[in-house]
Amino acid sequence: MGVVVNLDGDRKKPSLDALTALVRDDLKAVNEQIILRMDSPVHLIPQLASHLIVAGGKRLRPMLTLASAKMCGYEDGRRHVALAACVEFIHTATLLHDDVVDESDLRRGLASANAVFGNKASVLVGDFLFSRSFELMVEDGSLEVLAILSHASSVIAEGEVLQLITTNDTETSETAYLNVIKAKTAQLFAAACRIGAVVADRPKVEEEALENYGMNLGIAFQLIDDVLDFSAEQAKLGKTVGDDFRDGKITLPVILAFRRSDDEERQFWRRTLEDLEQSDGDLQHGIELMIKHNALHDTIERARHYGAIARDSLGIFDDGPVKRSFDDLIDFCIDRAY
């Protein structure tokens, strides 16, 4: 069934409901695949992996694969289910490795796998999930899918390294930042969408349309994530606010605020984000500067821009419940900021 959301006039708060309803049965199958294939005689592996995978998350990326396959009329096979599980494994592996990297204390409101099991286990279980993902792709047998996801994986790693380099550098440009989030976040969104078209054996133009949708949706998604780290909404989601600030991570709200700041304000940013000399009230002061300079507001505007491109990417597809749920997903990703 499709829950149609009226995007004009007095619209409802956008949600994932329409999309979730469309792929519900397939997503259940994906979850079963995930549980089945993350198993290992080495019990710590499923134990640690389930800490992240079973505990939750929205399954946004596998849903993209499932919905893309549906959009392309794929109905007879089960390949999209296994490949959606691959996408989630790659995503979870990067989260596990990110835990090592960021020393983040909370993820999805639970203690991070890292905090519970230690750095070493997070790295190795991430490696296992990553390898297992490739084993699943080999079982699927499509070199095209293998090419898309192996390329996405190396681009993600490049993006993460790029982010590492820009951390603590308040001079980071908006362009450099965009390159980071395209690589570390949007590339997997794009790949997740594209492989949905690949299993349906659709023309390249449809593969590319879905890839572009995923890429631009992913950019918008990450921009809003970066806004949320300075927002009260974040706390409601059970996440700590100010993680990026504490790590000295340079995201678009910071970049815009810094570029619009006067000398004294720039001293503040350099002290807190470059030298990581932070004390009580600094996060709050940073947020106030962002509000003063419209940095959060304009980051959301930038997200809207990419959301608009994502929407137009799908112009070649006929209207219908799947396409409407893709549209709604854009609104959902952006409206999280409010």
What single-letter DSSP state applies at residue 16? S
* Smallest separation (angstroms) from its own copies to the CB of 212: 22
Q: How far is the CB of 97 from its own copies (least distance, A)?
A: 5
Residue 317: CB minimum distance to its own copies, A? 28
DSSP per-residue codes, 236-298? HTTPPTTHHHHHT---HHHHHHHHT--HHHHHHHIIIIIS----TTHHHHHHHHHHHTTHHHH
Separation of alpha carbons 260 and 270, rounded Å: 14
**39: alpha, beta or left? (left if phi > 0; alpha if psi -120 to 50):** beta
Quick one: 151 or 292, whose CB is closer to its own copies? Answer: 151
Q: Which is nearer to its own copies, 148 or 330 (CB)?
A: 148
**Interacting residue ranges for its own copies, rule: CB under 8 A:** 40-42, 44-45, 94, 97, 100-101, 119-121, 123-125, 127-128, 130-132, 134-135, 137-138, 141, 143, 146-147, 150-151, 153-154, 156-158, 160-162, 164-165
Nearer to its own copies, 154 or 267 (CB): 154
Give buried/exposed letters for 228-254 (b at 16+ CB in 10 A, else e): bbbbeebeeeebebbbbbbbbbbbbbb
For residue 128, the minimal CB distance to its own copies (Å) is: 4
SS3 78: coil
Q: How far is the CB of 192 from its own copies (least distance, A)?
A: 16
Nearer to its own copies, 42 or 55 (CB): 42
By beta-carbon proximity to its own copies, the closer residue of 153 and 261 is 153
